[in-house]
Amino acid sequence: MHAGQNQGRPQNPLWNDNKLKLGLFGLNVSNGCAITTAEGHLETSWPNTKFICTTADRAGFEALVPVARWKGFGGATNFNGSCFETYTWAAGIAAATEQIGVLSTSHVPTVHPIMAAKQATTIDHISNGRFTLNIVCGWYQPELEMFGAKIMEHDERYAYASEWLQVLRLLWNSEEEFDFEGKYFRIQKGFHQPKPIQQPFPAIMNAGGSAVGRRFAAKEADIAFVVHDRQDPDSIKAHVDALRVLARDEFGRRIQIWDNCYVVCRPTEKEAKQYLEYYVRERGDWAAVENLVRIFGLQSLALPPHVLEEFKFHFIAGWGGLPMVGTPEQCVDKLRMLSRCGLDGTVLSFVNYQEELPLFVRDVLPLIEQAGLRKPFTAKI
């Protein structure tokens, strides 16, 4: 049995037999994951996102993961400031695709669980059981202030999210009306029909990085993102193993563990590194990343200047992801390393999704299959 497998989710490709699953990240927001003014960066339009998603669908990718965003980060790009709401985005993408897993990313302080349960169920039916809900506890204060939402202390956000999920799952599972009295929610005669296609309920994804966040992911999520050292395989494996053991020993659960990578794939390593330097050093939106770092609170950690600069570099390059920079063969070597470290999947981002994704499918995907990380894809349409 694969990590996180559930017999009630046979249509969800996140539980297929591929050793290393692939997704795309940040398709619904301006600039995607690259904080740059370089030519070809992602612009928010339905034709753009539909082309990217259907390309990944036809190539056999497993997941499309949007970013929940309501306000940008300023700078020349106002990074992610133009954005599609993720439930309605996922509903549209679910209808436009055939096989790929479709996700919504939900800030729990901004969506009532009754509304979330109904929206998620609707998308699960549109997609015929290919839906997964990515839970975000809410950290970007300017967005929460837009909603008039309470700004909660870090650990309380996860307590709130746990109760939010409890209500959500009651709505998904209960055949009768129910009352619920918690710290944050009071539900009178709660009821929800139809039930989701996936049973006992759609899968949950989470990317908590703190100690409290990791416990939340280990307890509540079917798929968790892991925070690790980008360059050290031993560190990556240690973080993956620790999260898997926490889920198993503390909560008796088996979960999938993913990370995110930004991809710069070129015919030569020199070309790839030159382009990375160009779009980060020359065309990076450093004002936007300064805002992001300040909101994250990284400057208050008294990090050495070179460490803080490295954080900024990788945020501009691709939301702090692991660099997959080089030739097609070197990209496959990086994926092979991630698989050896115990990762079940990774979400990818590019500067220019429209041009770079088809090349990745053409030049890299066959090598990934030859490496034994994925089975050759056969369309099921």
**Closest to 349 in 3D by CA, of 309, 371, 322, 375:** 322
Is 147 inside a domain boundary?
Answer: yes
**Closest to 319 in 3D by CA, of 257, 263, 238:** 263
Is 210 inside a domain boundary?
Answer: yes
All residues at 6 or more sequence positions from 309 whose CB lies less than 8 Å from its CB, including other chains = none
Is 6 inside a domain boundary?
Answer: no
All residues at 6 or more sequence positions from 115 whose CB lies less than 8 Å from its CB, including other chains = none
**Rounded Cα distance, 263 and 267, in Å:** 13
> How, if at all, do strands 178-181 and 186-190 pair?
antiparallel
Task: Indicate the number of domains in the chain.
Answer: 1
**Is the separation of the CB atoms in 336 and 371 below 8 Å?**
yes
**Is the separation of the CB atoms in 260 and 225 below 8 Å?**
yes
Is 239 inside a domain boundary?
Answer: yes
Digit-coded pLDDT (tens) for 240-275: 999 999 999 999 999 999 999 999 999 999 999 999
Is 155 inside a domain boundary?
Answer: yes
**Is the separation of the CB atoms in 323 and 264 below 8 Å?**
yes
Q: For CA atoms 304, 305, 311, 313, give the dihedral sign.
A: negative
Is 33 inside a domain boundary?
Answer: yes
- Domain residues for the domain of 360 are 13-370
**Rounded Cα distance, 216 and 164, in Å:** 13
Is 375 inside a domain boundary?
Answer: no
Give pLDDT tens digits along the chain (381 positions): 334 445 568 899 999 999 999 999 999 999 999 999 999 999 999 999 999 999 999 999 999 999 999 989 999 999 999 999 999 999 999 999 999 999 999 999 899 999 999 999 999 999 999 999 999 987 777 877 888 877 888 899 999 999 999 999 999 999 999 999 999 999 999 999 999 999 999 999 999 888 999 999 999 999 999 977 767 899 999 999 999 999 999 999 999 999 999 999 999 999 999 999 999 999 999 999 999 888 776 545 556 777 888 889 999 999 999 999 999 999 999 999 999 999 999 999 999 999 999 999 999 999 999 999 999 987 654
Is 145 inside a domain boundary?
Answer: yes
Q: What is the CATH number of the domain that holds 274?
A: 3.20.20.30
Q: What angle do CA 80, 14, 362 make, to 5 degrees?
A: 70
**Rounded Cα distance, 37 and 56, in Å:** 25
All residues at 6 or more sequence positions from 231 whose CB lies less than 8 Å from its CB, including other chains = none
